Structure 1
Amino acid sequence: MILFLAGTSDARELALKIQKAGYPLLATVVTENAASELKKYGIHVHTGRLDQDGITAFIKEHRITMVVDASHPFAEEASKNAMFGAKEQGVTYIRYERDKKDFYDENLIWTDTYEEAAEQAALKGGVVMLTTGSKTLQIFTDKLLGRSDITLIARMLPRKDNMEKCEKLGFPQKNIVAIQGPFSKEFNQALFQQFHVDVMVTKESGKQGAVDEKVEAALEIGISVVMIRRPKIQYENQYADFEEIVRHISREWRGVHT
């Protein structure tokens, strides 16, 4: 049995490819929405976060022989926990990591942390649109919300917990854009122009995360971009290509099951 860390649209595509190749999967996701998407295709799913001890016990309990980590590039703890659990139980760990594109522009600022991104946005001022999700929202509200020289706009998934978090942080309802992508460059530009955005804050999520369209849309119309780099993690058996992952699984599977 393969333990598959999912949650994104491209992860779902990879899960289906592995399933169609004939390998049994048990997926783990964080949200019910992600779980329902996988269940449509007959994939068994565990919903909920697993810490180091939890994933180690999970691997043992379900007799997992391989871990395929296709979690989001910024799900740092999930990847570290998966690597730890695989190592503890002596099973193979494989990482699917999205390709990334290097952007170069005088209006683009690279940062290594969310805190640094908030500081850079504060220096720029004006209308700041966050496209970094709700998990780290408080880092930006602590630094930017309530300043007379900054209007903070948050674009995030239209989920109840996100709206509750915004309310708890005192985020103005009129400045919340609750919508699910991916979006075209033209749509992004229309949205930026609607809110008269001066600065867009985003993450290096990769082409599959539609970051290219966001960044190109912003830079093309003169909006400054603050880009947060991916966490620096040394992955084992890292691939960006689905076929290479399936081939690796095939090699390992023959070794374990012969």
Structure 2
Amino acid sequence: MKKTGKLWVIGGTGDSVDAVKHIVKHSFPCIVTVTTPTASDLYPTLSNLSIQIGKLDKKEIQQLCTQETVKGIIDASHPFAINISQQVIEFAQTENIPYLRYERPSLKINSQAIYLDSFEHLLEGNYLENKRVLLTVGCQALSRFKSCHEKLVLYARILPKLESLKMALNAGFSESKIIALRPPITLELERSLWQQWQIDLVVTKASGKQGGEDIKLTVAKELGIPLIVIKRPLIQYPKQTEQMSDIIEFCYQCFQGVNHV
């Protein structure tokens, strides 16, 4: 089967790396988009794989799909990266390009955790008052807590990137309240950090096992520390899967001209 055009993988996560490796193993030409140079280093160097770095707006999405003759889109972005997913879904439906969402498996509801629908619900409630709180929610969300520093002790764990550090500092976190670590975080290290900072409460996102949610649940149970989990945003994906095998089947269908939008 002659493969003209490319598959577009929206990347930047460990999930997308796995997806890309499976796709190129089956000899499909592929372009993956990531937002940072650091994320691009996660992918293998192969002749049938190209990488584009930078955030995309609607016009740039159109240009990418036209220039690369995109036959299908595999959205393997982070579960909380809703803006790119929503834009691509709208574009794919308008242009009749097959779209598949790879959604990393969710963990089952755990009685050890408190599950909230959004950061707004967290901040509107009385969950954080007079607590020593560890935030493992990503640097993008830290600005939401800027007004909270006078009321409680806040710590933030971020990725070891200059951009992330700047965002944490701008959100009011002092250097002594920031730790920069790249996942995965081991159970022993997670436990030690909570103990060292005498944490009373941890806030995380429902990022699944890939995001270390399972380890946080274990440590929370061991230490008797409440864990608040912000649920994933609700997006109506046209088609989604948790199976890598479905991605490969989707790739074959894209190059056979089967419409899966």
Please say whether Structure 1 and Structure 2 have the same fold, judged by a TM-score greater than 0.5: yes
Partner SS state of residue 86, structure 1: helix
Amino acid at match of 1:95: R
Distance 1:17 1:121, change over 3 A: farther
How far does residue 92 in structure 1 lie from its aligned partner after superposition?
0.2
**1:52-87: CA deviation from partner (whole Å, max 9, x where unpaired):** 232123212321111110000000011111112212
Does 1:235 pair with 2:241? no
Post-superposition offset of 1:39: 5.3
Normalised to the residue count of structure 2, the TM-score between the two structures is 0.91
| Structure 2 counterpart SS, 1:255 | coil
4+ residue segments displaced more than 6 Å: none
1 CA distance for matches of 2:155 and 2:163?
Answer: 18
2:52 to 41, 46, 53: 46
Aligned match for 1:85, one of 91, 103, 109: 91
Residue pair 2:158, 2:165 contacting (<8 A) in 1 also: no
Q: Aligned equivalents of 2:44 and 2:110: distance in 1?
A: 41
1:128 matched to 2:133:
yes
TM-score normalized by the length of structure 1: 0.92
Indicate if the aligned counterparts of 2:7 and 2:251 stay in contact, CA closer than 8 A. Answer: no
Q: CA RMSD in A?
A: 1.7
**Structure 1 Cα separation of the partners of residues 27 and 255 of structure 2:** 11
Matched, 1:200 2:202: yes
When structure 1 is superposed on structure 2, of 44-53 and 18-27 the one drifting more is: 44-53
Match of 2:212 among 210, 213, 220: 210
Kept in 1: contact 2:184–2:212 (CA 8 A): yes
CA distance in 2, matches of 1:124, 1:221: 20
1:57 aligns with 2:42: no
One-letter code aligned to 1:27: V
Hey, what does 1:153 align to over in structure 2? 155
Q: Is the alpha carbon distance of 1:206 and 1:121 closer, same or farther for their aligned partners in structure 2, counting shifts above 3 Å?
A: farther
Change over 3 Å in CA distance of 1:41–1:198 after alignment to 2: farther
Counterpart residue number, 2:3: none
Measured at CA, do residues 118 and 41 of structure 1 come closer, stay the same or move farther in structure 2, by a change above 3 Å? farther
Amino acid at match of 1:151: V
Aligned residue type for 1:226 = I
Larger relative CO (CA 8 A, sep 6+): 1 or 2? 2
Once the 2 structures are TM-superposed, how far is the Cα of residue 170 of structure 1 from its aligned partner?
2.9
Amino acid at match of 2:33: T
Match of 1:102 in 2: 108
Alignment-derived partner of residue 76 in structure 1? 82
Asked whether the 8 Å contact 1:203–1:228 carries over to 2, the reply is: yes
Deviations, residues 79-136 of structure 1 (Å, cap 9, x unaligned): 111112212221100110011012332x522111112223446545321000001101
Q: CA deviation at 1:176?
A: 0.3
Residue 28 of structure 1 aligns with an amino acid whose one-letter code is: T
Identify which range, 17-26 or 208-217, moves more after superposition.
Answer: 208-217
Indicate conservation of the 8 Å contact 2:143/2:170, yes or no.
no
Unaligned runs of at least 5 residues, structure 2: 1-5
TM-superposed deviation, 1:164: 1.5
Query: Which blocks of at least 5 consecutive residues in structure 1 are unaligned?
Result: none
2:123 matches 1:118: yes
Pair 1:255-2:257 in alignment: yes
